[in-house]
Amino acid sequence: MKGWRYSAAASFSILFLWQLIIWGAEPPRYILPAPSAVFLSFIDNLGLIYEHALVTLTEVFLGLLIGISFGCVTALYLETSRTARLFVRPLLVFSQALPVFALAPVLTLWLGYGMTSKVVMAILIIYFPVTSAFHDGLSQTPQRFLDLAQVMKATRLRLLFLIKVPAATPSLFSGIRLAAVYAPIGATIGEWVGSSQGLGYLMLLANGRVKTDLMFAALLTLGAISMTLYGATGYALKQLSKRYKVD
Amino acid sequence: MTETGPAISIKGKAFEENELLFDTLDIQIEAGHWTCLLGPSGVGKSTLLRLLAGLETHVTFEGTITASDAQEVASRVSYMAQSDLLLPWATIGENICLGAKLRGETIHKNKRAAIIEQVGLGDHIDKYPSELSGGQRQRAALARTLMEDTPIVLLDEPFSALDAKTKFQMQELVAETLRGKTLLLVTHDPGEAVRLCHRIYILNRHELHVARHLQPPFPKDHKDEAVFALQNELLAQIRGTEQ
């Protein structure tokens, strides 16, 4: 619980610093609104923010679900097939050399302004960390377990699912934790490039209309969603991974 | 449970990066008896055991490993090591049946229940390895070995991580439950070798001595003076100051 106290203290310090700047520099409201103004804007626009947050959340969840599934399947494929390791892995690494963000306009062009392009953006952004983390875990099964399985004449598939996959679970969980942070970024970038819904869209809209307080309210909501998602995923996975920890 | 294993003969030499590890090795493991490979750490005892189990080693072995019934050795061994090798994510009950699960065979629940009772883990079948003591975990590893019921058993210092009392209890349990198997025990503890094994080989660097043939009963009483004297003699041989 101590960690929470430090996080709260850090948040309050930033808010206080923010308020100090307001008091000291007195910037115009459209440049930097006071924390209180942002809070009031949040309350006034609660319905609007909720509506757009729901869209972003849906994109994030779909992105996570599909991205993690694809990542797991790819990692299993890489582990079982030498050909895949030779051909697919370099492609994966190359895909990471490309700035995925730069694809956002093309995705919007291909898939339209709807939710699909944002979900695909989130998938693209989390696919590699999940694949990479899980595959690393699968290829690092402790040798002693592999020896035991060999002496017991394990079949390849049973070795994979009874020993390699459980032993790689903590690595997969690290990948999922990263994915939980990246997915909202992916979805928001998609929304920035072209959309009519979502927190990213609301931010752009508010910015264009010089409603800086609403822009900050949407931004902080997005931050809160990401933090909650990361915290919840982290907590749930920590509970689960206790069982899978190999000494 | 008491299927007698074949005799095994290991002959040859082994190299480690072009350097000789064993020279003219000649080990005869008697059928249904316990043979011990005794020696200090790092002389390649475990490597020899891995060769028998058909596992990858860092050495090049030039020679033959043959069984008296002319069948392959590596395909019918079970293996117990210093580390219990229990899967942390599986319960004790699941760990004990691991071999059958990995091969896709039917699990004989009655056999499992009998073995669990035999090793005294009746109350722990649904627990995870992390919930058990070191001794209990090693009992579970023994139960897994018994469940495999192979004619040949390889033990790689299975008692060395246990405290003195647990070690003695485990030695007795292992001696009782694996009686009749063709068994190779690798250890650096002369006391353990004398208590448990019919035949003892001493492996020092590059050299192999046949130390003793002992007569049953096993396990021997550690308070027995003859056992104690032999233990000291073996210790002196390992240290290279034969008396």
Beta-bridged to residue B12, according to DSSP, are B25, B63
For the stretch B168-181, pLDDT in tens is 888 888 888 888 88
Residues B88, B96: contact at Cβ < 8 Å? no
Mutation target vs B (from A144, A148, A243; most B CBs, 10 A cutoff): A148
Residues of A with Cβ-Cβ distance to B99 under 8 angstroms: 152-153
Residues of B with Cβ-Cβ distance to A144 under 8 angstroms: 81, 83, 85
SS3 letters for A166-193?
HHHHHHHHHHHHHHHHHHHHHHHHHHHH
Contact A169 B89 (CB under 8 A): yes
Residues of A with Cβ-Cβ distance to B127 under 8 angstroms: none
For the stretch A146-155, pLDDT in tens is 999 999 999 9
Residues of B with Cβ-Cβ distance to A152 under 8 angstroms: 78, 98-99, 102-103, 148
Contact A151 B75 (CB under 8 A): no
Q: Which of residues 81-140 of A touch B (CB under 8 A)?
A: none
**The two structure tokens encoding residue A161:** 């699912």
Decide if the complex's ipTM is over 0.90. Answer: no
Mutation target vs A (from B50, B98, B147, B155; most A CBs, 10 A cutoff): B98
Mutation target vs A (from B56, B87, B147; most A CBs, 10 A cutoff): B87
Which CATH fold topology does B8-83+153-238 show? Rossmann fold (3.40.50)
- In one letter, which amino acid is A90? P
Peptide bond preceding B217: is omega within 30 degrees of 0, i.e. cis? yes
Q: What is the rounded average pLDDT of the residues B142-166?
A: 89
On the question of pLDDT at B87 being above 90, the answer is yes
Contact A163 B87 (CB under 8 A): yes
Q: Is A240 on the interface with B (CB under 8 A)?
A: no
Q: Which of A149, A151, A243 sits opposite B89 (nearest CB)?
A: A243
- CA distance to partner chain A, nearest, from residue B216 (Å): 30
Q: Is A163 on the interface with B (CB under 8 A)?
A: yes
Q: Which of A145, A151, A246 sits opposite B78 (nearest CB)?
A: A151
For the stretch A86-131, pLDDT in tens is 988 888 888 888 888 888 889 889 998 889 999 999 999 999 999 9
CATH assignment of A33-244, given 1.20.1250.20, 1.10.3720.10, 1.10.1200.10, 3.40.1410.10?
Answer: 1.10.3720.10
Residues A112, B52: contact at Cβ < 8 Å? no
Q: Which of residues 36-75 of A touch B (CB under 8 A)?
A: none
Q: Is A247 on the interface with B (CB under 8 A)?
A: yes
How high is the mean pLDDT of chain B? 86
Query: Which residue is closest to A157 within chain B, CA to CA?
Result: B102
SS3 B184: strand
Nearest to A199 by CA among A76, A53, A54: A53
Per-residue pLDDT of chain A (247 residues; tens, 9 = 90+): 567 888 889 988 998 999 999 999 888 888 899 999 999 999 999 999 999 999 999 999 999 999 999 999 999 999 999 898 898 888 888 888 888 888 888 988 999 888 999 999 999 999 999 999 999 999 999 999 999 999 999 999 999 999 999 999 999 999 999 999 999 999 999 999 888 899 999 999 999 998 999 999 999 999 999 989 999 998 888 888 877 877 6
Nearest to B112 by CA among B152, B145, B75: B145
